[in-house]
Amino acid sequence: MKRLFALILVISLWFGISLAATPAAYAEFSFNALTPCATSSAFQDRLTSEVDGYTARLANFKAGSGPAEYLKGKIAQTEARFAKYANSGLLCGEDGLPHLISDGRWSHAGEFTIPALMFLFITGWIGWVGRAYLIAIRKDPATAAQKEIIIDLPLAIKCMLTGFTWPLAALKEFGTGELLAPENEVTVSPR
């Protein structure tokens, strides 16, 4: 039975590899459908419709009232947001919305790369702080379970403040061997 399975596996891999020799198809991306937001008429129409919506609602309230001031603030926020998009060099589509380009070109690296790196740093920080907290409470086995349920706030804040250096601390621990658990401590389910 094992030999039959191995033979079927070898034949399927052989056919799969021979079929993989066909040329790959790549989607072609065209900037023709995108225009700079500052010159896009759909982008300007979207700005006008949002501001007009707030302005129409503003007519329902007395000048100087709380709701009127709130709506004036919303109009200012909307105009500022659209001005940032227009001045940032982003490209807008036919829908009037900015489109982020993440195709590897350095001219568009700031649209995706910087937010992605920030996301990875913040998620790594959260994970590192949680790990540091669990390691710190494990030193006192009598209260470790209790401190997992009711968080020791001073200890958690101390871990949070030192967690911003997590990339350097991870490299240091990886170099010294502290980051990875030894083989004999890793549980394996019996089969």
Give residue 19's pLDDT: 55
Spatial separation of the C-alpha atoms in residues 164 and 64, rounded to whole Å: 45
Tokens of 72: 């004036």
Backbone angles phi, psi at 34, to 5 degrees: -110, 140
Each domain of the chain, given as residue ranges in start order, spans 33-99, 107-176
Per-residue pLDDT of the chain (191 residues; tens, 9 = 90+): 777 777 787 787 776 665 555 555 544 555 667 888 999 999 999 999 999 999 999 999 998 899 999 999 999 999 999 999 888 888 888 889 988 877 777 777 777 888 889 999 999 999 999 999 999 999 988 898 999 999 999 999 999 999 999 999 999 999 998 888 888 888 888 87
Report, at the CATH architecture level, how domain 107-176 is classified.
Orthogonal Bundle (1.10)
pLDDT score recorded for residue 68: 92
Residues 6+ apart with CB under 8 A from 77: none
Element (H, E) at 64: none
Rounded-to-integer distance, Cα 99 and Cα 182, Å: 47
- What is the reported pTM? 0.58
